[in-house]
Structure 1
Amino acid sequence: MKFGKVDHPELIDFTIPPDHQETPVVLKKNKTGADTKVFVGCAKWNRQELKNFYPRGTKDELAYYSTQFNSIELNATFYRIFPAEQYEKWRDKTPEGFKFFPKMTNEVSHLRRMNDKALEAADRYLEVTSLLGDKLGTIFLQMHNNFGPKNWDRVVRFVEYWPKEFPLAMEFRHTDWFTDEKVAQELYHLLEENNIANILVDTAGRRDLMHMRLTKNEAFVRYVGANHKSDYTRLDDWIARLSTWKSIGLENIHFFVHQNLELESPLLSAYFIEQLNAKMGCDLHIPKTTLPPEKGLFD
């Protein structure tokens, strides 16, 4: 993932900002008393860069990946709507309890920009994506960088149109969604009222996106490492924040690790899971890598 990439990550202040004042309110209001469900994964499974992850001779990368992780952020569905049988194959070759968190087709977000045709594209997308069955996690929609608040009416129409039986998370990347307080509050409340998660993005070059405002009882985090030793301390900070939210009432953690160069993603994920297990009492499988999870390639 190139989004938010910088040449000198050592110069970036990666401090996670304080919670938005409404985040504890949302968590307390929406807690049910259920155990916290945690899904951690990478962004993709079939990248050549993941050399430190797959054993030599691995023929089916998804089948192996799903023995090590309990979820995947499925970015491939952003670029095309696959034939129905492809979703069925993905569903059938992964174990019980595994979840896909697929990205909405760019026809909705980038090409049609949430116009009338975008609603038709969303219907076509859901028709096949729903074939993932009980392995379908939260679908997420990432808007274009230049999709700003002037498109507010389109956002409202899409959110109200979206079938509520499919969990949805949304990621807005235009600065004005967050710097204009009135706009931000309207957006947050729209998402909250419609039970849609507000995606949290942690990347080096776009610290303006670190709003820390949850809109439902779900922390959907897209973490972009910088291939720098600070990636590990940043993950420590996230573990501390998620632990705090869990103590308040957070019941759903969906955390996906990206890298500017993906070769380090399995190592970062393994480190994150190991520390999460220790801090929060989780029992997630720690993915096997060819290097110990605490030993990154840039140490």
Structure 2
Amino acid sequence: MAQGSVRIGISGWRYEPWRGVFYPEGLVQRRELAYASRMVSSIEINGSFYSLQDPASWREWHDETPDDFVFAVKGPKYITHLRRLKEVRTPLANFFASGLFELKAKLGPILWQLPPMLPFLPERIEAFFELLPRDTEAALALARQHDERVADRASLAIDRKRPLRHALEIRHPSFVDPAFVQLLRRHRIALVVADTAGRWPLLEDLSADFVYLRLHGDAELYASGYGPQALDRWAARIAAWREGRQVDDARLAAPGTRQRAGARDVFAYFDNDVKVHAPYDAAALMRRLGLASALQGPGRPVWPPGWQAPSVRKRAPGFAARRVVAKAAAETPE
């Protein structure tokens, strides 16, 4: 049976409480992405949600990760939360001109997360979908329409024509509507399967040739980890989706409707970073799906093969524990 590819990873990577717990003592901050990208197979870039990044940063992220690595990219909150998807052609152009093309083959799906206060407005949602470029050539044409905000730092070259995928995460109950799923399928946009500890809708309608899963916390948003039973359950769902099947107990907005047949790629990201669960849950889920990860149990950082562990000055007793309960993550979870 044909199967899609599976990528399991984390949302963001620069979190102060992770240092000395997930990241080994002695690892310098500028090497954290290089380290994390050797423990999981994909990472969600969420700095792009808060502000436009520079081409040099995108280039650096490309160069620091393994050749077969893939990033998901979170679209700007200026488009989704501030503009609420209205009159966003120029902000979209600025976003694509800001450096995404520097990722080349490592550019994976683009995540658009809607705010909880934005309801299902069919005409506005469809107008936004129609603006989204479906390959890098179309994205480049759009990027050339940027304004002065990125005029002195635009990246306007692609290495080749590549397909682009888009996923939409919803947080308003009005999206639990068959018309919304029909709209997604017509535009081949993936509906994000978002586990938010019951805070926002969790829907599993399949609407594209890939599935995008975000795991924000099993019982407590952004904070709680996933136990063996929960991980087994998500592994079984991913196994079905990659084969093109739907699970029997799927939570659907459009039950009884036809879905596209065929294998699907699956991208899954853990966003329960507050207590350093995310990387360990990702590694545990990877192992359940037969994917390799060098990461060991919580609080047991390992050095990737071929990396030289630096000599580390001995810390005072209780240092590691203080790391765990340090201030909130530098990248606020969303």
230, 233, 238: which is aligned to 1:237?
233
Q: Indicate conservation of the 8 Å contact 1:68/1:288, yes or no.
A: no
- Alignment partners' CA distance in 1, 2:90 and 2:165: 18
212, 221, 235: which is aligned to 2:213?
221
The aligned counterpart of 2:293 is 285
The aligned counterpart of 1:53 is 22
Q: Indicate conservation of the 8 Å contact 2:79/2:85, yes or no.
A: yes
Q: Indicate conservation of the 8 Å contact 1:235/1:272, yes or no.
A: yes
Residue 197 (str. 1) matches residue 195 (str. 2): no
Between structures 1 and 2, the one with greater helix share: 1
- Alignment partners' CA distance in 1, 2:265 and 2:59: 25
Q: Indicate conservation of the 8 Å contact 1:108/1:119, yes or no.
A: no
Deviations 1:47-89 (A, max 9, x none): 0122421111111101111111111011111000111111111
- 1:129 Cα shift? 1.5
Query: Where does 1:236-275 land on structure 2 (aligned, <5 Å)?
Result: 236-247=232-243, 248=245, 249-259=262-272, 261-275=274-288
DSSP-derived class of the 1:259 partner: coil
The aligned counterpart of 2:132 is 162
- Alignment partners' CA distance in 2, 1:175 and 1:185: 12
Q: Indicate conservation of the 8 Å contact 1:170/1:198, yes or no.
A: yes
DSSP-derived class of the 1:95 partner: coil
- Alignment partners' CA distance in 2, 1:153 and 1:198: 17
Residues 209 and 94 of structure 1, relative CA distance in 2, 3 Å threshold: same
The aligned counterpart of 1:276 is 289
- 1:238 Cα shift? 0.8
Deviations 1:206-257 (A, max 9, x none): 2x51221010121100011234465442221111122223343433010001
* Amino acid across the alignment from 1:194: H
The aligned counterpart of 1:171 is 169
Is there any run of 5+ residues in structure 1 with no aligned partner, and where?
1-32, 179-183, 278-282
Q: Indicate conservation of the 8 Å contact 2:225/2:272, yes or no.
A: no
TM, length-normalised to structure 1: 0.77
98, 101, 107: which is aligned to 1:130?
101
Is there any run of 5+ residues in structure 2 with no aligned partner, and where?
136-163, 246-261, 302-323, 325-334
Identical aligned residues as a percent: 27
DSSP-derived class of the 2:269 partner: strand
Structure with the greater alpha carbon radius of gyration? 2
Residue 188 (str. 1) matches residue 181 (str. 2): yes
Q: Indicate conservation of the 8 Å contact 1:50/1:264, yes or no.
A: no
Q: Indicate conservation of the 8 Å contact 2:225/2:278, yes or no.
A: no
Residues 35 and 212 of structure 1, relative CA distance in 2, 3 Å threshold: closer
- 1:105 Cα shift? 0.5
- Alignment partners' CA distance in 1, 2:263 and 2:300: 30
Query: Where does 1:14-163 land on structure 2 (aligned, <5 Å)?
Result: 35-51=3-19, 52-59=21-28, 60-116=31-87, 118-127=88-97, 128-149=99-120, 151-163=121-133
DSSP-derived class of the 1:55 partner: coil
Residues 229 and 153 of structure 1, relative CA distance in 2, 3 Å threshold: closer
Deviations 1:126-178 (A, max 9, x none): 122122111000000001111112x3222111101111112100111111111
- Alignment partners' CA distance in 2, 1:86 and 1:54: 21
The aligned counterpart of 1:7 is none
